[in-house]
Amino acid sequence: MSESPTPPARSSRAGLILLAVVVALGAWLILGNRPGPRATAPAAPAQAATRAVTYQVTGAGTNRASLTYTNKTGDTEQKADTRLPWTIIIDVKPGAFAYVSAQNAGGSGSVTCVILVDGVEVSRATGDGGYQIGTCKATVK
C-alpha cells in the first residue's frame, strides 16, 4: 500500500493564525501601552504683567486746567478746573491705550502733559497760550 501524504489539518493553520494574533496583541499591550512621554497641551500664556502709567500735567503761567484721561479700566474720565501740577499713576496691561489731554483754563500761559510707562517718558505735548490744549497718547508696551 502506498501512503499518500496527508494535507495539513485546517485546525493547525487556524491555531497558528490565532497564536500570531495573540502574540501581536500581547506585544502591543506590553510595549505599546506602557506609560511614557505623552503629548501635552501647550501651556497657557503667562498672565501679562501690569505696567505703571503716570500722567503728569504742569502749567507755566497758569495753575489750572481741564483734564481728560483714560483710567485703569480703559474708560474716559474728566476733571474740570484742576489745580496744577497734577499727577496720577494707574496700573494697566500691555496693549492698553494711554491718553491725557489738558486744556489751559487761563487766558495766558501754557500746559504740558506727559505720559510715562514704568518711569520712561513715552509722550509729551504742550498747549501754548490761553485755553490751548496739550494732548498726549501712547499704546502701552
Contact 126, 134 (CB under 8 A): yes
How high is the pLDDT of residue 10?
A: 57
Structural domains in the chain (count):
1
pLDDT tens, position by position, 53-98 = 999 999 999 999 999 999 999 999 999 999 999 999 999 999 999 9
CATH code of the domain in which 90 resides: 2.60.40.2880
Rounded CA-CA distance 65/59 in Å is 8
How high is the pLDDT of residue 22?
A: 74
How high is the pLDDT of residue 134?
A: 98
DSSP state of 24: H
How high is the pLDDT of residue 130?
A: 96
The answer to the question of residue 31 being in a domain is no
The answer to the question of residue 29 being in a domain is no
pLDDT tens, position by position, 108-130 = 999 999 999 999 999 999 999 99
The backbone torsions φ and ψ at residue 124, rounded to the nearest 5 degrees and listed phi first, read -150, 140
Domain range for 103 is 51-139
The answer to the question of residue 63 being in a domain is yes
pLDDT tens, position by position, 10-50 = 567 777 777 777 777 666 666 665 555 555 666 656 656 99
Rounded CA-CA distance 135/68 in Å is 9
